Structure 1
């Protein structure tokens, strides 16, 4: 199991961790973000499938892309309420930060639905880590927070992400549109119910610090499964 020792933060969301036999999701502290900067710096997109237009600005090779990425995470960490929150995790493999996995909730205590978003260093793509980190964050959502449904989406030509969704039991849930490089592109939407997740639930994933985080997110005790 991958572990990283660090002092506990006074802010519970930064203490949440998810450990699998292959990787860990660790709350995105400033220390971990700094360690991830070199990966962000070298992650400029040079070919399809092209990613989203986002604060990380994957199309630009300049210091501003790292600054925008950091500001985006800092801003998101500071806009947490019962109505809307986003948990940011750094993906750590063998002690090395290799990407990020986010979990997003809107009116979660009412609807119990979440959305996931992630990116991974090109150096480790193709090794099954994309699927593993998604399984980890779904375990947090369903087992730790008591989610009833999770959604995900990817551009239709992002075959790796769409294959992960399909392999984990998501069902197609229509299409939408977004932009990349300023141009419209079609998105494949996916939906995973608690029942479908339960059929594939793993028993080798460990959660840390979740109970202390629930009040910060305005979440009542999760339903007994």
Structure 2
């Protein structure tokens, strides 16, 4: 079976409202359609790569290709789990968690997007909390880092709510112009202190060696 070669296909992270997992083909198509509907206010750009400004057909294809690309390139020293976020069985966004040389660094970073019509309901915070549970409780991470443009107030608010500490200002580019970035760091101790979302993990054990997390 395919899951024998890609055990991450059986990975599940659940919170009271959400489930994070790899989508089936029809669910991936629904995610692509959701992205076309809109992810953010067109007057702002939260991503360094402005992929949300692609024409609708290319934007949808990009969502699908990102999913396939990260899955095909999984290896212990460099990986990204591109997990779909489901609310009541319906895909509402994507929560990605990434790491390089995880066995050595024990650090993860993350990216995410949420369909515009699902925003303002606390889903963004809950899906990041689910990702952090996977990273710290599941994989044994020592820290998580995050970066957001200073104008991306929603993302910064999620980081602060979950206990991330500000970790300096960086310089990035957004739509061809300078954009300052707020860097954050979350230690294991701060995660434990601020965690408020219950989460469970299923299907992790077969994935550990693939993610460089087989040994402490």
TM-score when normalising by structure 2: 0.92
Matched, 1:24 2:19: yes
Q: Which residue among 177, 180, 191 is the counterpart of 2:174?
A: 180
Give the equivalent residue in structure 1 for 2:45. Answer: 50
Give the equivalent residue in structure 1 for 2:101. Answer: 107
Give the equivalent residue in structure 2 for 1:67. Answer: 61
Does the 8 Å contact 2:39/2:115 carry over to 1? no
Does the 8 Å contact 1:53/1:182 carry over to 2? no
Q: 1:192 to 1:154 in 2, by over 3 A?
A: same
Give the equivalent residue in structure 2 for 1:135. Answer: 129
Please report the RMSD computed on the Cα atoms of aligned residues, expressed in angstroms.
Answer: 2.0
**Shift of residue 52, structure 1, vs aligned partner:** 1.1
Deviations 1:50-89 (A, max 9, x none): 12143x7211333112222322221121112221100011
**Shift of residue 178, structure 1, vs aligned partner:** 2.6
Give the equivalent residue in structure 2 for 1:3. Answer: none
**Shift of residue 122, structure 1, vs aligned partner:** 0.5
Q: Distance in 2 between matches of 1:189 and 1:130?
A: 18
Structure 2 unpaired stretches of 5+: none
Does the 8 Å contact 2:103/2:215 carry over to 1? no
Give the equivalent residue in structure 2 for 1:166. Answer: 160
Does the 8 Å contact 2:79/2:211 carry over to 1? yes
Q: Distance in 2 between matches of 1:197 and 1:8?
A: 34
Q: Distance in 2 between matches of 1:14 and 1:185?
A: 36
Give the equivalent residue in structure 2 for 1:209. Answer: 203
**Shift of residue 46, structure 1, vs aligned partner:** 4.6
Matched, 1:150 2:144: yes
Does the 8 Å contact 1:28/1:88 carry over to 2? no
Give the equivalent residue in structure 1 for 2:75. Answer: 81
Q: Which residue among 88, 94, 99 is the counterpart of 1:94?
A: 88
Deviations 1:126-159 (A, max 9, x none): 1111100010000000000000000011110111
TM-score when normalising by structure 1: 0.88
Does the 8 Å contact 1:114/1:151 carry over to 2? yes
Q: Distance in 1 between matches of 2:52 and 2:92?
A: 15
Higher RCO, 1 or 2 (CA under 8 Å, sep at least 6)? 2
